[in-house]
Chain A
Amino acid sequence: MKIGVVTFPGTLDDRDAARAVRHAGGEAIALWHNDADLHGVDAVILPGGFSYGDYLRCGAISRFSPVMEPIIDAANGGMPLLGICNGFQVLAEAHLIPGALTRNHELHFLCRDQKLTIENTHTSWTSSYSQGQEILIPLKNGEGAYMCDDETLKMLEGEGRIIARYVGENPNGSRNLIAGVTNERGNVVGLMPHPEHAIDSLTGPSADGLGFFTSVLKAMVK
């Protein structure tokens, strides 16, 4: 089970995402932004960070990288694709999922251990969780407020495409406490918090994040 982890200039959490893949039992393959070749991977992760320094808008420049072309093609064909934090921003800019991420409502970068509920366990990345399961994983970003128009919001809620929601106080101003969304097919998931930093309680607040990575390995077996 090969999972590609993309590195754009400025990507920060690629090695951590690769580690999470290994912990889950998969093989992590490093993918370079300038290389339009997926090297036979079965799934792709766009990790967190500040790709291109968040110039212009977060993820706005990364989305046009050579590696994104085969990724978009493969994702449209059903390949599992996970965008974490900056990766979520890239997915939104590439219109693989609806909506956009904007500045945190309190304007500060915020790093905190965040409770989430998993609300859709039918995606490639969330099948290891149970419906409504509460997990604790780190949230760390400055532009994490999920925005979309009313029509889109209605559609997402109606179709159950919100895969995770913040529990308690809204940490960043996201509409309807949205922490993660999926596409129609359920193979592309964007998630603002960082599951790769919750794979053990030694280095993270819990091991709750591992489920994202075990889910896709299960999905790939099928």
Chain B
Amino acid sequence: MALDTVALAQANPDSTQPFAELGLKLDEYARIKEILGRRPTSSELAMYSVMWSEHCSYKSSKVHLKQFGDKAVKTDALLVGIGENAGVVDVGQGYAVTFKIESHNHPSFIEPYQGAATGVGGIVRDILTMGARPIAVMDPLRFGPADALDTKRVLPGIVAGVGGYGNCLGLPNIGGEVVFDETYLGNPLVNALCVGVMKHSDIKLAKAAGAGNLVVLYGAKTGGDGIGGVSVLASETFESKGPAKRPAVQVGDPFVEKVLIECSLEIFAEDLVVGIQDLGGAGLSCATSELASGGSGGMKVQLDKVPLRDPSLSPEEILMSESQERMCAIVEPSKIARFLEICDKWDVTVSVIGEVTDGKHLEITWHGDLIVDVPPRTVAHDGPVYNRPLAQPAYIDIVAKEVLNLPIPSTADEIRSTVLQLAATPNLADKSWVTDQYDRYVQGNSIQSQPDDSGMVRIDEKTHLGVAVATDANANWSYLNPYEGAKLALAEAARNIATAGAKPLAVTNCLNFGSPEDPGVMWQFAESVRGLADGCLEMGLPVTGGNVSFYNQTGTVAILPTPVIGVLGVIDDVRTRTPMSFDRAGLDLYLLGETFDDLAGSEWAYMHKQRGGIAPVADLQREMRLIELLVAGRTKKIFTAAHDLSQGGLSATLTEMVLRYNTGATIQLENVGMMLLSETPGRVVVAIDPAQGAALNSEAAEKKIALTKIGITGGDSLVINDAKISLKELHEAHTQTFQKLFG
């Protein structure tokens, strides 16, 4: 097969092209021909097909995600909003923090270790691309049932991959989630979050500006990673007898990325780049078209200048390759010598592959032949926009009518047994088996990590300014009511920031859903986005960016809607943060917030296989007042400890608090069963020195937050009314689960 050039495309306009195999619809193919005024070359076809895919173009979600911009609260704190690689917020003292969460679900099902590893690698590069030094990672993970065979296949590999890549990059893992549910069997969710910090003046954007500036590719060499589907275009090079040279899975090398990070930061420090983009999904196709779109308009690229690991790759394959650890920078000619010097110092492969032009097109040549000549915005930004049909699924009204029939403990034995059951159930059990595989110390600035409510990192050693990050989702609530479910997840993540006394500042999100071609799923998505957008507007928190992962389903069964919300907050002095728990006797324990009979969607209901009922309704005004109370509790030095309530209710919260520093508590509760199990949102347990009682009462009254004294700290047991569980027994129940399941 001869090289398919622009000249050839003009000469034979009627060649059949495998657009359908590449995932393009007939009308989309027609549109490409309309844009170009001729049929596309095979390289152009490959570029459009991958850039117009759901994953890259967000064609099904764009119309809904618009709300984040439309309903955005006006805030000076947002320095870079949606549209760039990651959002950037001002945290004071001249510092800007960038953070984002992304998914790598399908690859992790296929190859757990590499799928998770490259997921971490990808999100870290997104942060680096903004000009920031990455300072921490978090990993919300969701799996099928803990005892399922396939969970035993994917979980250890995914955890090893997250740890293997993150640890080798020197990034502390400061938190995450591990959730088990039948819904994720066959569709594990691997969401990876990264935080980075820089000075305001360091912010970099992805645009190719300035005609004559050079387009520079640096990092790993390009190989055949992740181009499986594009082989239809290059079938003559595919050796059917030999070993597969075109794997669909990307393989990462964290050492190369670590070196890339240090090299890039030195380059940034000397102000050597005008624009920069990392190469993620759709590799060079994405980087070149996005950089060109973001800049003055034109770019010329000589594809044969790309350093190759595999010299047999065709131009189409090079354009599609998803080889990891690569970046594309725009560099002024006067600065290129120094740029190359720094790459040489770090032994990083680098090649000048093109230049910015003052034309309007992205032109790519292969040994002199023009193989791509496109208006870059049509590739990167003006892809198809779908208004997919949506319809409230039938199950919504059905499950709302479900009456729960759950055992509620009342006797001492029943209380004991319930608390121990919850302590040991996989969703609530101690996660050290997972988190001990992650380095939480590297960089020496980790203040909080698992199992605290939020991860917290100090960003200034002198002033002790810090940031806190938390991620949350509740698929059970989102299933029952996607609109409220998203709001509730937002509230929970914000509350998790506030328990330590930090102030929530900005939001990111990873929206994991089934197929957008299913009107019911699309309705869940639309409702979730609407709920999140409304919630963010009400709470005054801007959405800085995020990620959508569709098609998480096996056959026709979609996963429960799982919008994961990440909230970033700031704290002026990490030394004054409120810890999650207490280590001495004699403190008074209070429950902030009222408790109602909220068992629908709870862990207790899940454990009894009852998934119906009515989800709680978010009261964001009250959540905001609670956040104010939590922040005041720290600044006014009222709280000794604070821990929020979520899955597993008060039972889980008390269990976690007494085991954290091995200090017991004596609790008295009315309506004890419901109090222990209910998952009413907007509640926190705080420990105070009794001398702070009046101050607490006054603050709570002023903020209109219900306050109930529930007990005191001390002893070697958790005592709830007449039930007594020794810390030893509770510890064993809590910590044995993962060891037994995963060895």
Interface residues of A (CB under 8 A from B): 9-10, 12-13, 15-16, 19, 49-50, 52-55, 108-112, 138, 140, 142, 194, 196-197, 199, 202-204
Contacts and interface: CB of A to CB of B under 8 A. Distances in A.
Contacts of B445: 203
Given A53-B253, A202-B575, A112 B446 contact: no
A111 B436 contact: yes
Nearest to B170: A12
Contact of B254 (A50, A108, A204): A50
Contacts of A12: 168-170, 258, 442
A108 B435 CA distance: 11
A111 B441 CA distance: 9
Given A112-B436, A140-B441, A197-B441, A203 B255 contact: no
A10 B255 contact: yes
B463 to A, nearest CB: 13
12 contacts: A10-B259, A12-B170, A13-B170, A50-B168, A53-B256, A54-B255, A108-B160, A109-B167, A110-B437, A112-B436, A140-B439, A140-B441
B346 interface: yes
Given A54-B168, A140-B439, A140-B442, 11 more contacts: A9-B259, A10-B168, A16-B441, A50-B167, A55-B255, A109-B439, A111-B437, A142-B167, A196-B444, A197-B444, A203-B445
Given A9-B259, A12-B170, A109 B444 contact: no
Contacts of A196: 444
A9 B443 CA distance: 16
Interface of B: 160, 163-164, 167-170, 253-256, 258-259, 346-347, 435-447, 458, 461, 574-575
Given A53-B254, A203-B447, A111 B440 contact: yes
A211 to B, nearest CB: 17
A112 B443 CA distance: 16
Contact of A138 (B259, B435, B441): B441
B327 to A, nearest CB: 17
A24 to B, nearest CB: 14
Contact of B255 (A52, A111, A138): A52
Contact of B574 (A16, A50, A202): A202
A9 B346 contact: yes
Nearest to A106: B743
A16 B442 contact: yes
Contacts, number: 84
Nearest to A20: B444
A86 to B, nearest CB: 11
Given A9-B347, A10-B258, A202-B575, A111 B444 contact: no
B446 A203 contact: yes
Nearest to B446: A203
B170 A109 contact: no
Q: For B169, B255, B444, which residue has the most chain A Cβ atoms within 10 angstroms?
A: B444
Nearest to B346: A9
Contact of A203 (B160, B436, B444): B444
B441 A50 contact: no
Nearest to B577: A202
Contacts of A109: 160, 163-164, 167, 437-439
Contact of A15 (B160, B444, B575): B444
Contacts of B254: 50, 53
B440 A203 contact: no
Contact of A13 (B253, B256, B347, B442): B442
B402 to A, nearest CB: 42
B511 to A, nearest CB: 31
A8 to B, nearest CB: 10
B198 to A, nearest CB: 16
Nearest to B169: A12
B71 to A, nearest CB: 39
A62 to B, nearest CB: 12
B255 A50 contact: yes
Nearest to A53: B255
B590 to A, nearest CB: 27
Nearest to A51: B255
Nearest to B441: A197
B99 to A, nearest CB: 20
Contacts of B163: 109
Question: Which 8 A-B pairs have CB atoms at the shortest separation, nearest pair first?
Answer: A53-B255, A12-B170, A16-B444, A197-B441, A50-B168, A140-B439, A109-B437, A138-B441
A199 to B, nearest CB: 8
Output the residue of B167, B346, B435, B446 with the most chain A CB within 10 A: B167
Given A9-B255, A15-B443, A55-B255, A111 B170 contact: no
Contacts of A142: 167
Contacts of A202: 447, 458, 574-575
B446 A111 contact: no
A16 B445 CA distance: 9
A54 B254 CA distance: 11
Contacts of B574: 202
Contacts of A140: 167, 439, 441-442
Contact of A53 (B168, B170, B436): B168
B344 to A, nearest CB: 11
Nearest to B743: A106
A49 B170 contact: yes
A43 to B, nearest CB: 20
